[in-house]
Amino acid sequence: MANLERSDVDGVTVLRLKGTLDRIELGDVEQTFREATHRDHASVVIDLADVNFLTTPAIAMFLDAAKTLRHSGGRVVVTGPSPRVEDVLRRLRLDSLLPVVGSVAEGIARVLASPDAGRVMGERGIGYADECLDVERSVAKLTHTYRALRGRRR
């Protein structure tokens, strides 16, 4: 069962996700996650230390949050993913949209460090935005394909 604990530390929203973030279990946390990440100028740390598996719907949820935060001037950092989860984030190049650091404390420090630290546009600057959008489009296509295949099984 997926679980989400929300706390606020120095004006930063910390979202601690736990469990397997599959399509079924994601429903338990999706609304709370969305409410926390769809606020103007929000600073968000997503702690994945206790997440053992990511699925396409979870990745789509993270990208939706990153896109919303980017457009509203917010900041987001992912912390503590297991090697397996971090590998997924890096292979999909999501770390360009969702910077990854080791701990919640590092994540909080990162989003508080300066107005541009932890910006959703990534570490490589505004010129990197096009590549980030390409990643976003690729995951959107993957999500669409997943939903179409899921619909055929019913």
pLDDT of amino acid 70: 82
- Please say whether the beta carbons of 79 and 101 come within 8 A: yes
> Residue 22: which domain range?
3-153
Domain count, the chain: 1
Q: What does each C-alpha distance from 107 to 29, 43, 52, 62, 133 come to in angstroms?
A: 21, 10, 20, 16, 23
Whole-model pTM? 0.75
Who's near 117: CB < 8 A, 6+ residues apart? 75, 110, 111
Look at residue 116 and tell me whether its pLDDT is greater than 50: yes
Summarize pLDDT for 4-57 with one digit per residue, the tens: 999 999 899 999 999 888 888 888 888 899 999 988 889 999 999 999 888 888
pLDDT of amino acid 121: 47
Of 20-34, 51-65, 138-152, least confident by mean pLDDT is 138-152
72: exposed, middle or buried (Cβ count in 10 Å: 0-12, 13-18, 19+):
middle
Look at residue 115 and tell me whether its pLDDT is greater than 70: no
Summarize pLDDT for 75-92 with one digit per residue, the tens: 899 999 999 999 888 888
Residue 40 maps to which CATH number? Answer: 3.30.750.24
Look at residue 124 and tell me whether its pLDDT is greater than 60: no
Look at residue 122 and tell me whether its pLDDT is greater than 50: no
* Number of C-beta neighbours around residue 6 at 10 A: 14
